Amino acid sequence: MKVKKVAVVTMARNDEFFLNRWIAYYGRQFGEENLFVYLDGEDQPIPAKAGRANVIHVKRVAEQVVKAEKRRLGFLSQRAKELFSSYDLVIGVDADEFLALDPLCKKSLHEYLSELPVRTSVSALGVDVGQDTNIEKALDLDKPFLLQRSYAFISSRYTKPVVIARPVRWGSGFHRVKWHNFHINKNLYLFHFGSVDYDMIMDRFKDKDRMATGRARHIKKRLKTILLITAKKAKDGNRWLPVARLMQTVFRPIYAYNKPSMLFWKLIVKLPERFKNIV
């Protein structure tokens, strides 16, 4: 088996907490030297735990969120294109997103991706992890996320084509690859932790940069995840995660054939115990 060379890219601003975790996680998977972190603004500090990751400052362009996302993903798509001169695969994810392999596979993520035939892109099932405020305490910042959080909203928003095997044009937020279909792998999960803690979300409303560029609505969506998880009875993830994957494979929104859909189903699951030590 050829061991594929894999690069991982992200771009962030005012996100050092997640970036430190992001670098630690993907560094273990692929080697810190294969991580490319683009900091949105020359005023941004290099993450304290950057290690050997490639951290590059990019000149800040303050724009409203829709325009900014198009620019950001255009930039990252171009960087990924350049990286294919040295890499077999490129993974593009936000700082609060962690691509993981089902532990039942008993392989490393790197081994699995090296064996996986990828023509253009591969998607992982999106798992929006949130806090059940009835029973889960505020996040302990020094402990793994999934040791403290047991519930998730299965949202097609986070079923993203994050693994690419050739140059593509990502849509805003990595939500799709333009002009290409999506293929959801049966063993890959994309854990999103933007809704992992109520207090952390409320602190984001105090970030003047985010508020000035119209991100309040985006942050409110994260609060909705917590409200859903707190209010709804969770289903068994072992049973319902495969159902969600099948549904997202079959159904597409009318406005975007190359995106998955859960239609109007708000599925909340209790995550299987085997995921506890992943992130």
Encode pLDDT of 21-47 as tens digits: 999 999 999 999 999 999 988 899 999
Encode pLDDT of 80-123 as tens digits: 999 999 999 999 999 999 999 999 999 999 999 999 999 999 99
> If you write DSSP's letter for every residue of 62-80 in order, what string do you get?
---HHHHHHHHHHHHHHHH
Q: Looking at the predicted structure, is the pLDDT value of residue 11 above 90?
A: yes
Question: What's the mean pLDDT when you consider all of the chain?
Answer: 90
Average pLDDT over residues 141-154: 95
Q: Looking at the predicted structure, is the pLDDT value of residue 211 above 90?
A: no
Average pLDDT over residues 133-142: 94
Encode pLDDT of 173-192 as tens digits: 887 888 777 789 999 999 99
> If you write DSSP's letter for every residue of 150-178 in order, what string do you get?
-EEE--GGG----EESS---BPGGG--BT
Q: Looking at the predicted structure, is the pLDDT value of residue 62 above 80?
A: no
User: What pTM does this model have?
Assistant: 0.92
Q: Looking at the predicted structure, is the pLDDT value of residue 250 above 80?
A: yes
Q: Which CATH number fits domain 6-275: 3.30.1490, 1.20.120, 3.30.1120, 3.90.550?
A: 3.90.550
Domain ranges for the chain, please list them.
Answer: 6-275
> What percent of the chain has pLDDT above 70?
92
The separation between the first and the last C-alpha atoms of the chain, rounded to the nearest angstrom, is 27
Q: What is the pLDDT of residue 214?
A: 56
More confident residue, 144 or 254: 144
Q: Which of 26, 9, 16, 36 is nearest to 141 (CA)?
A: 16
Q: What is the pLDDT of residue 262?
A: 87
d(CA 116, CA 195): 30
Q: Are 127 and 192 in contact (CB under 8 A)?
A: yes
Q: Looking at the predicted structure, is the pLDDT value of residue 202 above 90?
A: no
